[in-house]
Structure 1
Amino acid sequence: MTLQELHKLFTCLEHDLRPQRIRNELMFKLLATTGMRRQELVDLTWEQVNLENQTILVRGKGKKERLLPLHPIVLPIFHDYKETLLEQQKHYSEPIFYNQKNKPLNPRGLHKIFKEILERAGLPAHRFSLHHSNR
């Protein structure tokens, strides 16, 4: 994805009026700024995120862990997103991302959301895919 296309995607996310806007903006800005895989994103729990140190601990293939820096643009989005969650969804062992039925998001759901947002942004959905791991 070019910088121009990424800008178009981010602008679309930022101007979305739907309730899931903050979740979507956080997910795709995290993917774009950290390089994590879609499975790693949907597996994230609150205990892996350290907003004070601005880091995120990602568990990848083969249980390998890596500490990634959080880009400053995602920090306020994390705070805003947390405000939209139910109290029990903020527990350190809970997944960060949920679908509209309040179930943990899976890679297929994330992919579907990604394709839909690309279309809304006027980007050719067939040209882009999310980095996925083969677990």
Structure 2
Amino acid sequence: RYSPHTLISYQTDLLDFFAFMEKTYGEIKLAEITHGFIRSWLAGLKETGLSSRSINRKISSLRSFFKYHLKRGEIAAVPTANIISPKISKRLPVFIKESETKALITSLNQAAEDWKSLNAKMLITLFYATGMRLSELIGLKEKQLDLGRSRIKVLGKGNKERVIPVSPEVVACIRDYQQWKRKEFATTEEVLLVTEKGKKLYPKYAYLLVNKHLAQASTLDKKSPHVLRHSFATHLMNNGADLNAVKELLGHASLAATQVYTHTTIEKLKDVYKKAHPKA
């Protein structure tokens, strides 16, 4: 039920932990590992400057690992039981202004001359219009498009499917891309977006392309595709969208994950209050 990215992260965490154990303590049986060993490993990670968020994920990886072996009867107790996860400071989502987004898409519409700039236009348009995650967009298949009814079926985390409506402008943009793709490549992948060689986009290709254009359009420090997902949600909230509706569009399992976007709405209300209230 986990994504390939999550599985790789968990595997890396476990390999790192056992490499530390072998280097520091030599060969130790699984049943002999105590919370003291784990705390020692975590302390070392903290000294390297690793964030609390990353440390928490590593603790989660170990918890899952030891719980699995407890169920199998290979250990008598879970050594992570006494490990307290560090507190994580709430990070507000980074987003670009609505005016900057419009200017960026307009400039991309004018500059789409070669295949790479056409891909940049498609990536930024679809990230912002749908709020999709990077893995969801590069894995989007032609059969998931329902352009006749102006909607896209997205397969999200845990293989949960959601439907995202799109505007006539986005539909036209997709149709144009499909037309160019058929002219350019005799046979293509079943995915919508392809490289100059007609192959499925890979994460780094999409990341670097979006990063390059966001750097030109914004002064933000963070310029990843996720910024466009944050912008999608923030702009919806700022324009009065219902929180539950935004949750469904983003594919969040919990409303708590979506509530972080209400901060911008509150900031906007403060601004309105300061400008309009006589006692402000």
Report the TM-score when normalising by structure 2.
0.42
2:110 is aligned with 1:15: yes
Query: Is the 1:22–1:80 contact (alpha carbons within 8 Å) kept by the matching residues of 2?
Result: no
Structure 1 residue corresponding to 2:174, chosen from 78, 88, 93: 78
Amino acid at match of 2:160: K
Task: Please identify which structure carries the higher helix content.
Answer: 2
* CA contact 1:23–1:97 (8 Å) conserved in 2: yes
Please give the secondary structure, in 1, of the residue aligned with 2:187.
Answer: helix
Matched AA of 1:88: T
For 1:11-50, what aligned pairs fall within 5 Å after superposition? 11-20=106-115, 21-50=117-146
- Work out which structure has the larger RCO, using CA pairs closer than 8 Å and 6 or more positions apart in sequence: 1
Deviations along 1:41-84, whole A, 9 cap, x unmatched? 00001000011011100001110110110122211111111111
- When the two chains are superposed, the root-mean-square deviation of aligned CA atoms in Å is 1.9
Residues 30 and 74 of structure 1 are in contact (CA less than 8 Å); yes or no, is this contact kept in structure 2? yes
In the TM superposition, 1:55-134 aligns within 5 A as 55-85=151-181, 86-89=185-188, 94-119=190-215, 121-124=216-219, 126-131=221-226
Gaps of 5+ in 2: 1-95, 230-280
State how many pairs are aligned: 128
- Residue 86 of structure 2 corresponds to none
- The one-letter code of the counterpart of 2:155 is R
Aligned CA distance change for structure 1 residues 70 and 122 (closer, same or farther; 3 Å) = closer
Deviation at 1:87, TM superposition (A): 4.5
- What TM-score, normalized by structure 1, do the two folds share? 0.83
Between structures 1 and 2, the one with greater strand share:
1
Secondary structure of the structure 1 residue equivalent to 2:149: coil
Identity, in percent, stands at: 27
For the residue of structure 2 that corresponds to 1:4, the secondary structure is: helix
Which one has a bigger Cα radius of gyration? 2
Residue in 1 that maps onto 2:16: none
Structure 1's unaligned 5+ residue stretches are: none
